[in-house]
Chain A
Amino acid sequence: MFSFLIRRIGLMFVILFLVSIMIFSLVNVLPGDPARLILGQEATPEALEALRVEMGLNDPLVVQYFHWISNLIQGDFGNSVKDNTAVADILIAKIPVTLQLTIMSFIIALLIALPAGIISATRKGTLWDYSGTFFALSGVSLPPFWLGILLIYIFAVTLGWLPPSGYVSMKEDFVRSLTLMILPAITIGIRLSAELTRMLRSSLLEVLHADYIRTGYAKGLLEGAVIFKHALKNALIPVITVSGLQMATFLGGAVITETIFAVPGIGQLIVKSILSRDFPVVQGAVMFMAFAVIIINFLVDIAYSILDPRIKLTGGTK
Chain B
Amino acid sequence: MAQNLTVKNQEIQIQGKVENPRVKMFKTMMGRLFQNKLAVVGGIFTFLLIFMALFSQYIAPYEPTEQNYELIMSPPSADHWFGTDELGRDIFSRVIYGAKVSLQAGLISVGIALAVGIPIGLISGYYRGFWDEYVIMRITDAMLAFPPLVLALSLAAVLGAGLKNAMIAIGIVLTPNFIRLIRAEVLAHREREYVEAGRATGLRDWRILLHHILPNTMAPIMVQATLAIAGAIISEASLSYLGLGTQPPTPSWGSMLAAGQGYLELAPWMALFPGVFIFLTVMSINLFGDGIRDMLDPKLK
Chain A interface (Cβ within 8 Å of chain B)? 11, 14-15, 18-19, 22, 26-27, 29-31, 137-138, 140-146, 149-150, 152-153, 157, 245, 248-256, 259-260, 267, 270-271, 274-275, 282, 286, 289-291, 293-294, 297, 317
Contact = CB atoms under 8 A, between A and B. Distances in A.
B158 A26 contact: yes
B230 to A, nearest CB: 7
Contacts of B147: 248-252, 254-255, 267, 289, 293
Contacts of A144: 234, 238
A253 B241 CA distance: 14
Given A15-B142, A15-B145, A143 B234 contact: yes
Contacts of A145: 237-238, 241, 257, 261
B148 A153 contact: no
Contacts of B257: 143, 145-146, 149
Contacts of A253: 149
B72 interface: no
A150 B270 CA distance: 12
B262 to A, nearest CB: 10
* Interface SS of chain B: helix
B214 to A, nearest CB: 23
A153 B275 CA distance: 13
Interface in B229-281: 230, 234, 237-238, 241-243, 254, 257, 260-261, 264-265, 268, 271, 275, 278-279
Contacts of A19: 142, 145-146
B134 to A, nearest CB: 8
Contacts of A26: 154-155, 158
A143 B234 CA distance: 6
Contacts of B264: 149, 152-153, 157
5 contacts: A22-B143, A141-B282, A141-B283, A248-B146, A252-B150
A256 B238 contact: yes
Nearest to A295: B145
Given A30-B157, A157-B264, 5 more contacts: A141-B279, A142-B282, A144-B234, A153-B271, A289-B150
A143 B282 contact: yes
A16 to B, nearest CB: 8
B144 interface: yes
Contacts of A282: 154
Nearest to A289: B147
A245 B261 CA distance: 32
B87 interface: no
B242 A146 contact: no
B268 A153 contact: yes
B139 interface: yes
Chain B interface residue count: which class? 35 or more
Nearest to A19: B142
Nearest to B227: A140
Contacts, number: 136
B291 to A, nearest CB: 12
A270 B283 contact: no
Contacts of A270: 150, 153
A159 to B, nearest CB: 13
A143 B275 contact: yes
Interface in B207-236: 230, 234
B127 to A, nearest CB: 16
B198 interface: no
A297 B290 CA distance: 28
B287 A137 contact: yes
B286 interface: yes
A36 to B, nearest CB: 16
A138 B278 contact: no
A255 B145 contact: no
Contacts of B139: 18
Nearest to A256: B238
A88 to B, nearest CB: 19
B279 A143 contact: yes
A30 B137 CA distance: 26
B66 interface: no
B283 A138 contact: yes
B133 A317 contact: yes
A109 B261 CA distance: 26
Contacts of A142: 279, 282
A29 B156 CA distance: 11
Given A149-B271, A317-B133, A259 B242 contact: yes
B271 A146 contact: yes
Given A15-B138, A275-B157, A294 B282 contact: no
Contacts of B237: 143, 145
A271 B242 contact: yes
A14 B138 contact: yes
Q: Which of B157, B282, B286 has the most CB of A within 10 A?
A: B157
Given A146-B279, A317-B133, A248 B145 contact: yes
A248 B144 contact: yes
A289 B271 contact: no
